């Protein structure tokens, strides 16, 4: 299976994180979820993290971490 692609994120002034997939809004993270997301993309593949967070991941094909 190919790695997830097409995800992007933007940190807003209020600390929220907006995640898009191919330019379309996928989800917005707030508070502790946003902080946890920003920490996790430092040590993991950001595309995989965004795919997991948005639920846009093929069930059963996730890498075992």
pTM of the predicted model, to two decimals?
A: 0.81
- Give 16-54 pLDDT, tens digit per residue: 999 999 999 999 999 999 999 999 999 999 999 999 999
- The H or E element that residue 48 is part of is helix 46-54
Spatial distance between the Cα atoms of 64 and 46, rounded to a whole number of angstroms: 16
Spatial distance between the Cα atoms of 25 and 62, rounded to a whole number of angstroms: 22
What residue ranges do the domains of the chain occupy? 7-54
């Amino acid at each position: 299976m190919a790695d997830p692609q097409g995800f992007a994120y933007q940190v807003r002034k209020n600390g929220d994180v907006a995640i898009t997939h191919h330019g379309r809004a996928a989800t917005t993270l707030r508070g502790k979820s946003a902080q946890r997301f920003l920490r996790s993309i430092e040590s993991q593949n950001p595309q995989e993290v965004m795919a997991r967070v948005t639920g846009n991941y093929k069930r059963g094909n996730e890498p075992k971490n």
